[in-house]
């Protein structure tokens, strides 16, 4: 019986030309050798991104152009809760509070140490609010994983070689975190933007702040948009018990030289994805 993993990449690239969208996605999940060929084609062709999300425990892929949703089978995602996505890696946690990095199609995994907590098993899916990675772990071991957790008041940092995470406590609620231009940035509930500085002690250095709107009527996201750091405000209002509806969005570009916010009226036809929507492939 022939070893399908050893097929020449020219043959695999030819096969890719005849696959449907669903089979095209499944192709990359067959094995690491097929994934490498698949990834090369994706980078070369610059395909329109597709979205990975979860319907309960089942990973789903949404083809935006065709408006079609596909269910995919990735056993490594069973009972896992996604808390972040960076450089093509999912950051996951399970009911046993095991935290790992996972590249969903190649199945590559990196296990992380747990963060300090005092919660019950039922709380695993709300322990970590957001996690990001500074660089691609498959290209270098010089990367840092950062996470907002514990009711959004704590930041945990881990890098390869550490036996445990380094944790600092914030004096304000943290809304989002991003790796941008060689540093981690966080934004607080009252729109204070801080840069994370590493040294003998990890510190949050405030670099800008925005007018304080009603903190119960907005959600703030940070996005790296074509080299600019954007703050996206989703203005929300209650529509009933434990129910919210989006009213509008406000966008601001952070001017790091002047340490001030500049409102943006449009993004010239581009589309920004946030709210835990994951862009694949990356």
Mean per-residue pLDDT pooled into runs of 10, the chain (282 residues): 74 82 74 80 65 75 79 78 87 87 85 75 74 92 93 90 92 94 93 92 89 67 90 83 80 85 84 55 31
Whole-number pLDDT of residue 119: 57
Whole-Å CA distances, 93 to 34, 158, 278: 27, 15, 16
Three-state secondary structure string covering 132-169: EECCCCCCCCCCCEEEEECCCCEEEEECCCCCCCEEEE
Q: Is 192 exposed, middle or buried (0-12, 13-18, 19+ CB in 10 A)?
A: buried
Whole-number pLDDT of residue 46: 53
Whole-number pLDDT of residue 143: 96
Backbone angles phi, psi at 229, to 5 degrees: -95, 115
The half-sphere exposure of 149 on its side-chain side, counting CA atoms within 13 A, is 29
Q: Which residue has the tokens 């903190």?
A: 215
The half-sphere exposure of 206 on its side-chain side, counting CA atoms within 13 A, is 11
Whole-number pLDDT of residue 1: 41
Whole-number pLDDT of residue 281: 34
Helices (H) and strands (E) in the chain, counts: 4, 20
Whole-number pLDDT of residue 278: 37
Name 41's Cβ contacts closer than 8 Å, sequence gap at least 6.
13, 16
CA distance 237 to 248: 10
Whole-number pLDDT of residue 226: 86
């Amino acid at each position: 019986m022939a070893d399908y993993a050893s097929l020449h990449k020219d043959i695999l690239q030819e096969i890719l030309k005849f696959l449907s969208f669903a089979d095209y996605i499944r192709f990359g999940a067959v094995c690491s050798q097929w994934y490498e060929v698949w990834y090369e084609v994706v980078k070369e062709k610059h395909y329109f991104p597709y979205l990975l999300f979860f319907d309960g425990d089942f990973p789903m892929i949404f083809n935006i152009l065709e408006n079609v949703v596909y269910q995919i089978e990735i056993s490594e995602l069973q009972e896992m809760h996604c808390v972040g996505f960076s450089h093509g890696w999912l950051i996951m946690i399970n009911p046993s509070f095991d935290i790992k990095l996972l590249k969903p199609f190649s199945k590559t995994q990196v296990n992380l140490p747990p963060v300090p907590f005092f919660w019950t098993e039922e709380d695993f899916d709300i322990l970590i609010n957001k996690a990001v990675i500074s660089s691609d772990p498959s290209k270098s071991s010089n990367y840092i994983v950062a996470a907002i957790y514990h009711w959004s008041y704590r930041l945990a940092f881990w890098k390869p070689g550490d036996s445990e995470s380094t944790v600092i406590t914030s004096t304000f609620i943290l809304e989002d975190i991003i790796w941008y231009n060689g540093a981690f940035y966080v934004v607080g509930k009252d729109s204070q933007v801080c840069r994370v500085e590493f040294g003998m002690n990890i510190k949050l250095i405030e670099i800008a702040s925005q007018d304080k709107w009603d903190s119960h009527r907005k959600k703030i996201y940070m996005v790296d948009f074509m080299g600019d750091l954007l703050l996206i405000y989703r203005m929300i209002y209650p529509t009933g018990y434990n129910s919210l509806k989006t009213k509008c969005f406000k966008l601001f570009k952070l001017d790091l030289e002047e340490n001030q916010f500049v409102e943006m009226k449009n993004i010239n036809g581009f589309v920004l994805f946030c709210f835990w929507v994951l862009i694949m492939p990356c």
